[in-house]
Structure 1
């Protein structure tokens, strides 16, 4: 069941976790192979053409990061394979949706803090929430997690705006049971008449293949190409 929780003076819904039936789940053999035999993550990088998105947001006076964060999270939450997780009983399943987890950079100390925001499908509410959270926790330093109460249903998204990278890969020294994608985007640049943004998505192969990740990135591109379609109410 859903549970109402109070956040920042408002009421939001808590995401439910749905356990999958491993006996009938169509991906069971692939999950077992990539989770137990070839244990791997993979990265796919791509250039997004954000020309129309930049025009759209500038005409409306919108900040870049919350707008791009919405494009990412809308695509992620559209697909069950990117919302997979184990619950506290180590049952495999998926969340109704994921919340964005992202970083705030502190130039004075060259460090960062990590915060999260609630996810809303409606762009105006999502945008206002993220802008408010970024302002609220901007000056919290000295610890990695600037905001308490981080839920388990998160998707890490971060921006490295100092470089227009051609590839971004990340790894860890320990096996991970974290199945949400890790999304990075870099510094956008003008190429001719177009504005290009590099994006990298790191995925646990147990839950998603190249097909799924390519579809995810293509949907981010669609949002950037047709912002009037996706950013309703802006």
Structure 2
């Protein structure tokens, strides 16, 4: 199945966020991070009962939520701002032998079972290659999403050292924590202020929590 890279050009003359985009890219370049504790109890239980791994489910659920939020799918193609139909998750695989990582990506698919199998295939084919980015080529509509499963952080802020070519979110999860039968996971969302405000990130996080509360509805076929 061809990789979905469909994008719609953004008409700056009619784009409601045009002035804010200019302000936050030219006059006061700004981004921000919001960190929350995500309740993963229902999803963790459902995955265990159905013998699924957590990480691909996490990647799938967040990617599916992003299809509902056009603000978070804005990139550039040849200096033209575009809005992609979907974003594909780009994540890291940890190598236990030398403590390095490799960056992989899996094509988003609206079917969890299809995405899950594609994830397993990608890890099997590329997961043992000790290079930074073994799966090529890299699509323009990949977004960064990962986890630091050893650390229960309260804040995570990625620091780019080159000019941004896209305005996709950077999403990072942390270590699971259990308290009185409730499992939580820290989740960080970093976004450029040019495309989203605190309201948009709050709505995104609220929907992510909703889908993690309702795994059968979002993961079941």
- Tell me, yes or no, if the aligned pair for 1:52 and 1:226 is still in contact at 8 Å: yes
Displacement after TM superposition at 1:13 (Å): 4.5
Cα distance in 2, alignment partners of residues 163 and 13 from structure 1: 34
CA RMSD of aligned residues (A): 1.1
Aligned twin of 1:32: 22
Equivalent residue for 1:5? none
Q: Write the distance in 2 (CA, Å) between the matches of 1:35 and 1:177.
A: 12
Q: Given that residues 4 and 86 in structure 2 are in contact (C-alpha distance below 8 angstroms), is that contact kept between their aligned partners in structure 1?
A: no
Name structure 2 gaps, 5 residues minimum.
none
Partner of 1:22: 12
Distance 1:147 1:69 in 2: 17
- Corresponding residue to 2:64 among 35, 56, 74: 74
- The separation in 1 between residues aligned to 2:218 and 2:160, in whole angstroms, is 35
Alpha-carbon separation, structure 2, partners of 1:28 and 1:202 = 21
How big is each residue's C-alpha offset from its partner over 1:187-209, in whole Å with a ceiling of 9 and x where there is no partner?
Answer: 11101120001000110110111
Is contact 1:17–1:87 with CA below 8 Å preserved after alignment? no
Which residue of the partner structure matches residue 225 of structure 1? 213
Asked if the contact 2:5/2:139 (under 8 Å) is kept, the reply is no
Provide the C-alpha distance between the structure 2 equivalents of 1:73 and 1:81, rounded to a whole number of angstroms.
Answer: 14
- Structure 1: runs of 5 or more not aligned: 1-10
Match of 2:151 in 1: 163
C-alpha separation in 2, matches of 1:215 and 1:129: 29
Shift of 1:64: 0.7
For residues 4-54 of structure 1, give each alpha carbon's deviation from its aligned partner in whole angstroms, at most 9, with x where no partner exists: xxxxxxx23532121111111111011111111110111000000011111
Which whole-Å CA distance do the structure 1 matches of 2:217 and 2:100 have between them? 37
SS in 1 for 2:196: coil
Indicate whether 1:100 and 2:82 are aligned. no
Superposed displacement of residue 128, structure 1:
1.1
Query: 2:127 matched to 1:114?
Result: no
C-alpha distance in 1, partners of 2:68/2:220? 17
The CA distance in 1 between the partners of 2:105 and 2:95, in whole Å, is 17
State the Cα deviation string for residues 174-230 of structure 1 (Å, max 9, x = none).
332321100000111101120001000110110111111111111111111111111
1:4 maps to what in 2? none
Q: Deviations over 1:61-114 (max 9, x none)?
A: 0001001111111112221111101102x0111111111111101111111010
Give aligned pairs, total.
221
Structure 1 runs, 4 residues or longer, greater than 4 Å off? none
Which of 191, 197, 203 is equivalent to 1:215? 203
